[in-house]
C-alpha cells in the first residue's frame, strides 16, 4: 500500500504491494486511487478486463476524461469529491454494459492528511439483473393477484398476514389498516358477524391451521345471502415454507343461477310429464337425450331400452307394432338426413290405435343440435269424430225440427226439418232467439222458462204454439234437453219440435163431431 499512499516502498512494502495486486487480480473487482485533482494514480483487479483495461493504464487520466463529462454532480465524480472532503461514500453505476457497486473513501498520508481517493468497485451485474427480474416477477404477481376475481390471503404459521390482494379486502369489507396490521386473528374477528354460522368458520379455520399439509375446501354463508367458496391448497413441495394460502370466490350469482336453473328444469320436467303427448328428444348422433313417461307408456317400450340412450334400438323395438313399419323407418331416416326439416304424419297400429307424429329440429343459438319428436294418441278422437259424423247424418235426416241454442237462448244451429217446419232458412235463424218462432198467443218469455225447466229437472217437455214465416200457425210437442261437453259441463240446449198441428186439428174436429152427436143434431 506504500505506492497507493504515495510513500517510497521498501522491501517489505513491495512484498505487500505484490500480495495486494495478486489478491486483487484474483477477484472480480476494480481497485483504484486518484490524486487530489481526481486524476488516476493506480488501478488493478480482476475486473479490469471487462472494462477493456489493463493495470495502471488510466494513470494520469482524470475522472472527467474517463467518464467523458464535465458534470461535477455525475455520481462517481460527486462521490470522489465527497471522499476528498473526508466522507466514505457508496454508489451504484451502470457502465460499459455492466453494473458496479462502488465505495470510495479518503486516501490518507502521513499526519492523516488526505492525499487523494481510494476506490473499490464490485461487478454486481448478475445480482442486479436477478433483483430486477425478482422485482418484475413480484410486480407481475401483484398485478395478477389484483386482477383476479378471487380474494387471496396468505398467512404464515404464526398467524401473521403475509400478503393479500385488493379483491380480498373488497369481498370481506375489511378496513385496509386492519389487514395491513398483519394480524389474522383480528381480521377473522372482524368478519364473524357477517356469517350465518361464525362458530363453524372458526372451528374449520383452527382445524385447517392444525393440518397445514392438507388441502381444504368449504363454503361460507353470509347473513345477506352471499356465499363464498374457500379453498386452500396443500404445500406444492415437501419442505416448502409453511404458509396457508386462502382463496375466496364469491359464488352467490352462480348458486342463484343454479337454483333458478333447477327450478326451470323442474318446471320443464313437470310440464313434460303432465302433457298428454309423448315426447322424445334425440341428438344429431342418434342418442336419446330426453323423453317423458307418456312416451314410454304410449309405445310400450321397456325402460331399459330408452334408458340406454340408443335411438336405433328403440326404433327396432316398436316396428312390429305398426301397420307400415317400412314407411315409418323411411320417414325417420329422411328427417335425420335433413336435420332442419319439419314433419307431420299419422301412424297406424295393428291394435287399432292411431298416433299423430310431429317432428321439428332442436336448435340452440341458431344451430341444429338434435330433433324433437311429439306423439299424440288420437284413437279416441277419431272414433268420436266418426260417431259425430253418424250423428250429424241422423241430425240432418230427422223429420222433426231440431234447434240448438246457447244457454241464453241464441240459436247456434238447426236442421233441415226446422227450416221446413218454421219456413225460415238456417241463415235467417242463426243468432236469433227462438221467441221469433213462437205464436203471439204464447206466454211471454216462453223460451227462458223452457231453459229454466231444463236446468232444474234435466228436461222440459210440453206443447208450444208457433207461427211460421208465412203467418200460418201451428202446435208442436217440444222436448228441451241439455247438451254437455266431455267434462260434463252444460254448454247448450237442444230443442226438438214435432209438428202436431194436423193431429190437433183432427182432435178438434173429432170433439166437435162428438159434441154434435151428443146434442141430437144430424138425426133423422
- Averaged over 163-175, what is the pLDDT? 89
Q: What is the pLDDT of residues 242-255, one digit of tens each?
A: 778 889 999 999 99
Domains and CATH numbers, the chain: 2-127 (3.30.450.20), 148-255 (3.30.450.20), 276-378 (3.30.450.20), 398-506 (3.30.450.20)
Report the pLDDT value the prediction gives residue 229, as an integer from 0 to 100. 94
Comparing 219 with 208, the larger pLDDT belongs to 219
- The CA distance from 134 to 140, in Å, is 10
Report the pLDDT value the prediction gives residue 512, as an integer from 0 to 100. 83
482 pairs with which residues across the strands? 493
What are the Cα distances from residue 172, in Å, to 107, 190, 191, 460?
Answer: 61, 9, 7, 80
- The CA distance from 427 to 338, in Å, is 49
Q: Which helix (H) or strand (E) holds 360?
A: strand 354-364
Helix pair angle (184-191, 198-210), 10° resolution = 160
DSSP code string of 314-348 = HHHHHGGGBS-HHHHHHHHHHHHHSTT--EEEEEE
- The CA distance from 176 to 189, in Å, is 15
Report the pLDDT value the prediction gives residue 237, as an integer from 0 to 100. 53
Give the full edge-to-edge strand order of the sheet including 216-221. Answer: 161-164, 151-156, 243-250, 227-232, 216-221
Q: Which of 265, 256, 263, 244 is nearest to 164 (CA)?
A: 244
DSSP at 235: P
Q: What is the pLDDT of residues 10-53, one digit of tens each?
A: 445 466 666 667 776 777 899 999 999 999 999 998 889 989 89
411 pairs with which residues across the strands? 405
Q: What is the pLDDT of residues 122-161, one digit of tens each?
A: 999 888 888 888 888 877 877 777 778 899 988 887 788 8
Report the pLDDT value the prediction gives residue 146, as an integer from 0 to 100. 77
Q: What is the pLDDT of residues 292-302, one digit of tens each?
A: 999 999 999 99
- The CA distance from 306 to 414, in Å, is 52
Report the pLDDT value the prediction gives residue 105, as an integer from 0 to 100. 95
Q: Which of 58, 64, 20, 57 is nearest to 38 (CA)?
A: 64
* Three-state secondary structure call for residue 227: strand
* Residue 156 CB coordination number (10 Å): 14
Q: Which of 155, 369, 314 is nearest to 245 (CA)?
A: 155
Q: What is the pLDDT of residues 432-450, one digit of tens each?
A: 999 999 999 888 889 999 9
Q: What is the pLDDT of residues 98-108, one digit of tens each?
A: 999 999 999 99
336 pairs with which residues across the strands? none
Report the pLDDT value the prediction gives residue 390, as an integer from 0 to 100. 67
Residue with cell 479490469: 48
E strands within 378-425?
401-405, 411-414
Residue with cell 479518503: 106
> Has residue 500 got a pLDDT over 50?
yes
Q: What is the pLDDT of residues 269-289, one digit of tens each?
A: 887 888 889 999 999 888 998
Burial class from Cβ neighbours inside 10 Å (0-12, 13-18, 19+) for residue 464 reads buried
Residue with cell 376475481: 149
Q: What is the pLDDT of residues 342-368, one digit of tens each?
A: 999 999 999 989 999 999 999 888 889
- What's the grid cell of residue 403? 234447434
Q: Which of 125, 79, 126 is nearest to 103 (CA)?
A: 79
Report the pLDDT value the prediction gives residue 2, as an integer from 0 to 100. 42
Report the pLDDT value the prediction gives residue 324, as an integer from 0 to 100. 92
- The CA distance from 187 to 440, in Å, is 98
Report the pLDDT value the prediction gives residue 393, as an integer from 0 to 100. 65
Amino acid at each position: 500500500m506504500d505506492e497507493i499512499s504515495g510513500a517510497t516502498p521498501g522491501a517489505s512494502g513491495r512484498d505487500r504491494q505484490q500480495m495486494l495486486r495478486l489478491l486483487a487480480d484474483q477477484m472480480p473487482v476494480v481497485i483504484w486511487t486518484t490524486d487530489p485533482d481526481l486524476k488516476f494514480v493506480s488501478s488493478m483487479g480482476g475486473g479490469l478486463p471487462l472494462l477493456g483495461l489493463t493495470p495502471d493504464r488510466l494513470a494520469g487520466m482524470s475522472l472527467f476524461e474517463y467518464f467523458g463529462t464535465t458534470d461535477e454532480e455525475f455520481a462517481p465524480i460527486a462521490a470522489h469529491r465527497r471522499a476528498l472532503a473526508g466522507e466514505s461514500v457508496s454508489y451504484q453505476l451502470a457502465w460499459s454494459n455492466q453494473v458496479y457497486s462502488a465505495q470510495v473513501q479518503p486516501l490518507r498520508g502521513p499526519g492523516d492528511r488526505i492525499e487523494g481517493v481510494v476506490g473499490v468497485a464490485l461487478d454486481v451485474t448478475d445480482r442486479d439483473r436477478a433483483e430486477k427480474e425478482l422485482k418484475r416477477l413480484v410486480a407481475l404477481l401483484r398485478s395478477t393477484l389484483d386482477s383476479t376475481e378471487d380474494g387471496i390471503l396468505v398467512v404464515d404459521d404464526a398467524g401473521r398476514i403475509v400478503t393479500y390482494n385488493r379483491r380480498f379486502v373488497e369481498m370481506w369489507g375489511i378496513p385496509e389498516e386492519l389487514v395491513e396490521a398483519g394480524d389474522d386473528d383480528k381480521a377473522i374477528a372482524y368478519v364473524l358477524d357477517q356469517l350465518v354460522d361464525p362458530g363453524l368458520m372458526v372451528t374449520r379455520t383452527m382445524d385447517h391451521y392444525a393440518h397445514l399439509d392438507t388441502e381444504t375446501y368449504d363454503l361460507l354463508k353470509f347473513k345477506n345471502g352471499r356465499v363464498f367458496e374457500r379453498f386452500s391448497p396443500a404445500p406444492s413441495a415437501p419442505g416448502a415454507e409453511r404458509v396457508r394460502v386462502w382463496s375466496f370466490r364469491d359464488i352467490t350469482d352462480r348458486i342463484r343461477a343454479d337454483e333458478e336453473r333447477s327450478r326451470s328444469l323442474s318446471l320443464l320436467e313437470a310440464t313434460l310429464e303432465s302433457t298428454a303427448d309423448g315426447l322424445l328428444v334425440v341428438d344429431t348422433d342418434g342418442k336419446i337425450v330426453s323423453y317423458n313417461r307418456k312416451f314410454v307408456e304410449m309405445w310400450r317400450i321397456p325402460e331399459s331400452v330408452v334408458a340406454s340412450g340408443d335411438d336405433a334400438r328403440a326404433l327396432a323395438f316398436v316396428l312390429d307394432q305398426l301397420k307400415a313399419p317400412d314407411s315409418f323407418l323411411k320417414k325417420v331416416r329422411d328427417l335425420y338426413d335433413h336435420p332442419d326439416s319439419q314433419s307431420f304424419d299419422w301412424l297406424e297400429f295393428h291394435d287399432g290405435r292411431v298416433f299423430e307424429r310431429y317432428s321439428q329440429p332442436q336448435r340452440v343459438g341458431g344451430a341444429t343440435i338434435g330433433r324433437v319428436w311429439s306423439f299424440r294418441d288420437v284413437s279416441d278422437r277419431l272414433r268420436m269424430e266418426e260417431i259425430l259424423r253418424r250423428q250429424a247424418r241422423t241430425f240432418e235426416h230427422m223429420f222433426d225440427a231440431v234447434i240448438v241454442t246457447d244457454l241464453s237462448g241464441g240459436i247456434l244451429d238447426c236442421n233441415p226439418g226446422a227450416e221446413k217446419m218454421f219456413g225460415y232458412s238456417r241463415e235467417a235463424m242463426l243468432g236469433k232467439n227462438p221467441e221469433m218462432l213462437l205464436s203471439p198467443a204464447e206466454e211471454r218469455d216462453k223460451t227462458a222458462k223452457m231453459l229454466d225447466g231444463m236446468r232444474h229437472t234435466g228436461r222440459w217437455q210440453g206443447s208450444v204454439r208457433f207461427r211460421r214465416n208465412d203467418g200460418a200457425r201451428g202446435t208442436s210437442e217440444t222436448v228441451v234437453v241439455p247438451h254437455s261437453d266431455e267434462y260434463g259441463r252444460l254448454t247448450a240446449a237442444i230443442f226438438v219440435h214435432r209438428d202436431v198441428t194436423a193431429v190437433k186439428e183432427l182432435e178438434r174436429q173429432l170433439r166437435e163431431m162428438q159434441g154434435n152427436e151428443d146434442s141430437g143434431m144430424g138425426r133423422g
